[in-house]
Structure 1
Amino acid sequence: MSEFLHRLPEFIGNHPILSMAFFGVLIAVIANEAGRWFRGYKEVTPAELTRLINGENALVIDVSPPADFEKGHVPTARNVAMAQFDPEHKDLNKVKDKPVVVICRSGQTSAGAATRLVKAGFKRVYTLGGGTAAWTGADLPLAKGKK
């Protein structure tokens, strides 16, 4: 280890572009992980979502467009299009202490809704990593139609 540390400055001097690229990637990874720690909600897998639904009666909100929701959604999910999503709604205020899981098709849009729920004071907010695509990838059933 001592020889490695002794030769590190020489390596950095001989390969400045490679060294800068390494440190850039290292900073990006650290920033991404720090962001995950402080965002206020947790990403769950399909198995963890199943446990939350069955064991803790989690509220599942699907923010997909209504047409996509009707094609297939997680059973028990309620559809609220992102344009109409309001974390301050009186019905949502009743469940602030209950686990709330936000889902979309790919897992990208749900992050914005989850952030809004956290800012509104919800304590147990989750997103399904990978969205409905991850749910079907885990060979779990989809419900079809409006409800």
Structure 2
Amino acid sequence: MSSFGVSSFVQNNIALIVAAVASGILLLWPVISRRGKEVDTMAAVQLINYKEALVLDVREGSEYASGHVPNSKHIPADKLEQRLQELDKFKDKPVILIHRSGANTSGKAGSLLRNQGFQHVHNLAGGFDSWQQANLPVIKK
């Protein structure tokens, strides 16, 4: 095929090519846009037990009071920026972010932590709901 043939093909099929590229980008967007790692409950337990991970619960106070991971630190997502100094000693440790059902709010919290120099930020896949479904320990206040 000559260069004229390729050029002609592109011109005749530009809409198809643009649609194919756009759909490829849309398919890959969740992978590209998620800078933090998502961990399942088994990986979270491993990080807690063997890497001394901080479990940071970013849910609202009433959600946290109704049940939370043992030894977790509670800072609601909307207060995280003002309370970052409380977490400075954990910058080199894994941090597992917990929200009610996943990376909704914890995604924003994770971006904030990474921008502040936290190296090992993870979102708990499925959030606190997945922790409960796995029948892992829960403390209720």
Q: Quote how far apart the aligned CAs of 1:75 are.
A: 1.4
- 1:54 matched to which residue of 2? 49
- Structure 1 Cα separation of the partners of residues 66 and 131 of structure 2: 14
- 1:77 matched to which residue of 2? 72
CA contact (8 A) 1:87 1:120 kept: no
CA contact (8 A) 1:88 1:120 kept: no
- Structure 2 Cα separation of the partners of residues 25 and 134 of structure 1: 31
- 1:114 matched to which residue of 2? 110
Letter in 2 for 1:70: A
Query: What is the aligned-residue RMSD (CA, Å)?
Result: 2.2
Which residues of 2 match residues 20-35 of structure 1 at below 5 A? 20=19, 24-35=22-33
Which ranges of structure 1 fall in alignment gaps of 5 or more residues? 1-8
Q: Quote how far apart the aligned CAs of 1:88 are.
A: 6.7
Letter in 2 for 1:29: L
- Structure 1 Cα separation of the partners of residues 85 and 22 of structure 2: 45
Q: Quote how far apart the aligned CAs of 1:144 are.
A: 0.8
- 1:139 matched to which residue of 2? 135
Q: TM-score, normalised by structure 2?
A: 0.79
Letter in 2 for 1:30: L
- 1:5 matched to which residue of 2? none
Counting aligned pairs with the same residue, the percent is: 35
Q: Quote how far apart the aligned CAs of 1:52 are.
A: 0.7
Q: Quote how far apart the aligned CAs of 1:136 are.
A: 1.2
SS at 1:125 equivalent: strand
Q: TM-score, normalised by structure 1?
A: 0.76
Q: Aligned pair 1:45/2:43, yes or no?
A: no
- 1:104 matched to which residue of 2? 99
Q: Quote how far apart the aligned CAs of 1:76 are.
A: 1.5
- 2:90 matched to which residue of 1? 95
CA contact (8 A) 1:58 1:98 kept: yes
- Structure 2 Cα separation of the partners of residues 35 and 84 of structure 1: 24
Name the stretch that deviates more: 113-122 or 134-143. Answer: 134-143
